[in-house]
Amino acid sequence: MKPIHFSASLVLAMSLSIPVGVSARDSITAATWLPPQHQYSRYLYNYWAERVAHHSGGDLTANVELGSARVTPSGNHTEIADGLADVSGHFAQYTPSDLPVSNAVEELGMTFSDPRVIIAAATEFNINDPLLSKEWEGLGIVFGSSYATNLYKLVCNTPVRNLGELKGAKLRLPGRAPAEWANSAGAATVSFNTNEQYGALDKGALTCTTTTVADAYVRKLYEVAPHVTNLPITLFWAGLGHGYNPQVWSELTENQRRALLYAEADAMVALIVDGTLLEELEAEANMKEQGVTFHEPESDLLDSIDSFRNAQSGSAVGIVKDTFKIAEAEDLLKRFQDTVNKWEGLMANVPIDDRETFAGLIRSEIYDKLDLSTYGVN
C-alpha cells in the first residue's frame, strides 16, 4: 500500500479548520493567596484538583499553588484577567468599587443562615443574572463557582458579651452592612485582610475579628484571641470561588470545561459540608482545649443585632441605590431572594451529609443548563 502524502498547504488548511478551544491544553494553574491549611485552600483547590482529574478522565490536570505569591487579596480579580493565574478566586469586599453588584447583593447577608443554600444560589445567580454576569464579563473573568462562609462570630482578645463591652472595641467585619451595625452599636470598624488579623489581634490593633470558628482554629487565632462570642453576625459569599482567565477558558474543550465545573460542584459541597458545617463543630471542641472561652451574648447585644437584621431587607434597596449606584436595586435584590428561595426548596429535605444529592443538584440545576460551546467564550 502506498503511503499517503499531504501537501504543506493542505496540512495548514486542516489545522486552521480545527475550532478554537479543541487543540488545547492538558493542564491549568490555579492559585490562591490563602494558606494551605485553610478550608478554602483544602477543599476549593486541592480537592477540586482531584475531582478535575476524575471528571476529565485524566485529560486535564489542575496544578494548584496554595499561599501563592502570584495573587493578592485586593488584586486577585485583575490578576485572573491579566493571566497571572489561569484560575483563582476573589473576595469582593476588598474591591467594592470594582464589584458594586456583587457587594450590593451581599447587603442581604445578615438575613440568611444556611451556607448550603447560599453557595448554590450565589453560583446560579452569578452565572445567570444579567447585571452580575455582565460585571464579571466586564472585568475579564469567566465565572466558575462561588464560595460561602458559615455564620461569622466575634473572635476577641478580651470578652465582648454586651453593648458596654462592645463600645469602643475595634472590629474587623465583612461587608458594609455588618460594619454599619457595629458602628451604630458603639464599636469602631477597621480594615484588615484575613492574613493580617492574627498580627492585628496580637498587637491590639483589633479587639475582635469576625470569622467562623473553623477559620479561627486553622489560623491559630486562639493564641491571640481567647474569647469567642456566639453572636451570629452574617454569612459571606460575595466574589469568586473559581474565576477563569478568558483566554485560557477559550483554549479548553467543552468536555474539559464541563469537567472543571463538575469538579467545582464537588468542591463546593465538600467546602460547605466538611470544611464548614462539620468542621465548625470539631473546631469549637479544639478551641476549648486550647483554652478559649465561648460566651453567650447578653440580651442587649443580641437585641441590637436582631433589630438591625430585621430591618435590613427593607433598608437594603435604598442602600444599594445610594451606595452602589444601582438604579434597579429593588429588582436585583428580588431576583437574588427568589434564587435563594428556590434553593431553600431544593435543599429542604436533603440531609446535611448527603453530599452526592447536593452536588447533583448543583450540576443539574446550574452547570448542565449552560451551553459550554459559548459560555465564557462569546
The structure's pTM equals 0.87
Reported as a single tens digit per residue, the pLDDT across 70-88 is 999 999 999 999 999 999 9
Q: Quote the pLDDT of residue 24.
A: 63
Per-residue confidence in pLDDT tens, the chain, 378 aa: 333 343 333 333 333 333 443 446 999 999 999 999 999 999 999 999 999 999 999 999 999 999 999 999 999 999 999 999 999 999 998 999 999 999 999 999 999 999 999 999 999 999 999 999 999 999 999 999 999 999 999 999 999 999 999 999 999 998 889 999 999 999 999 988 888 999 999 999 999 999 999 999 999 999 999 999 999 999 999 999 999 999 999 999 999 999 999 999 999 999 999 999 999 999 999 999 999 999 999 999 999 999 999 999 899 999 999 999 999 999 999 999 999 999 999 999 999 999 999 999 999 999 999 999 999 997
Over its C-alpha atoms, the chain yields an Rg (Å, rounded) of 22
| Cell numbers given for 303 | 437585641
345/258 Cα distance (integer angstroms): 26
- DSSP string for 57-106: TTS-EEEEEET-TT--TTTHHHHHHTTS-SEEEEEGGG-TTT-HHHHHHG
Reported as a single tens digit per residue, the pLDDT across 326-338 is 999 999 999 999 9
Triad 53, 59, 61: Cα angle to 5°:
50
Ordered by where they begin, the domains of the chain are: 153-234+286-309 (3.40.190.10)
Q: What are phi and psi of 348, to 5 degrees?
A: -55, -40
- According to DSSP, the β-strands at 153-156 and 188-189 are unpaired
Q: Quote the pLDDT of residue 18.
A: 34
- Secondary structure element (H or E) that encloses residue 294, with its range: strand 293-295
